[in-house]
């Protein structure tokens, strides 16, 4: 696993070892999965293929990414999150730092995972255009943030690839998606609105040009 940590400005490589595997399995077993994350991961994995290159924006504890990783075995999976304190989280910065450290531990055995501790608008400069097979957006749930993520990452998705997002029913997200689609009629096609596993729903957009 590779980690890009903006706080230290250092890229660190962790070697695969038996203790790391044991720690990963133990820690993921401790994360509650009764909120529909397994069902959502299955839905997302239906839109991707083994060996795809993907990125998840908004990682939190990492459980959702873990299930996608197991179900489809992407050749490369980037996990982008600043793990910064924000009002809706109810977490202190110390707790967010601890969460980040735990996520690093969870994914230590996986050489195809790269953790990027950056805001999505800063991380986007790392990636070339037409690079991702899918982008999963579950970051800040405001109209402005979702609009920014969609606009920033559309060029990074291959033609035929997908922009997928969580909590489609939220107040700020649905209008952002609809306005984005109006502005990109020639480039994108709305595929599906799904509420599998969670009331908030999910959306999927396919890049067609």
What is the tens place of the pLDDT at every residue in 114-159?
999 999 999 999 999 999 999 999 999 999 999 999 999 999 999 9
Q: What DSSP designation does 128 have?
A: -
What is the rounded average pLDDT for all residues in the chain?
83
pLDDT at 13: 42
- Assess whether pLDDT exceeds 60 at residue 103: yes
CA distances from 30 to 61, 63, 126 (A): 11, 10, 32
- Assess whether pLDDT exceeds 70 at residue 193: yes
pLDDT at 201: 81
Helices (H), 12-126: 18-29, 37-45, 63-72, 93-106, 120-123
CA dihedral 173, 36, 117, 79 (to 10 degrees): -100
Distance CA 176, CA 41 (A): 23
| pLDDT confidence band for 22 (50 / 70 / 90) | very low
Whole-structure pTM value: 0.84
Question: Beta-carbon neighbour count of residue 8 at 10 Å?
Answer: 10
pLDDT at 33: 52
- Assess whether pLDDT exceeds 60 at residue 7: no
Helix (H) or strand (E) segment spanning residue 162: strand 157-166
Helices (H), 84-160: 93-106, 120-123, 143-153
- Looking at per-residue pLDDT, the higher value among 64 and 150 belongs to 150
CB 114 within 8 A of CB 79: yes
Domains present along the chain, CATH in parentheses: 2-207 (3.40.50.150)
């Amino acid at each position: 696993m590779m980690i890009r940590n903006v706080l230290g400005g250092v890229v660190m490589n962790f070697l695969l070892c038996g203790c790391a595997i044991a720690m990963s399995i133990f820690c993921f077993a401790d994360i509650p999965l009764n909120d529909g994350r397994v069902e959502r991961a299955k839905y997302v994995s239906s839109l991707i293929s083994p060996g795809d290159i993907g990125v998840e924006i908004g990682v939190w504890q990492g459980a959702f990414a873990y299930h996608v990783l197991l179900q489809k075995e992407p050749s490369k999976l980037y996990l982008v999150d600043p793990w910064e304190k924000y009002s809706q989280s109810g977490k202190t910065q110390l707790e967010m730092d601890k969460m980040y450290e735990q996520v690093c531990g969870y994914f230590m055995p996986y050489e195809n995972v790269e953790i990027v501790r950056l805001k999505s608008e800063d991380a986007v400069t790392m990636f070339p255009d037409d690079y991702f097979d899918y982008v999963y957006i579950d970051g800040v749930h405001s109209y402005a943030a979702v609009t920014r993520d969609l606009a920033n990452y559309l060029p990074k998705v291959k033609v035929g690839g997908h922009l997928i997002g969580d909590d489609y029913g939220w107040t700020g997200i649905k209008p952002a998606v609809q306005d984005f689609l109006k502005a990109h009629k020639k480039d994108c096609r709305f595929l599906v609105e799904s509420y599998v596993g969670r009331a908030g729903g999910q959306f999927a957009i396919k890049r067609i040009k």
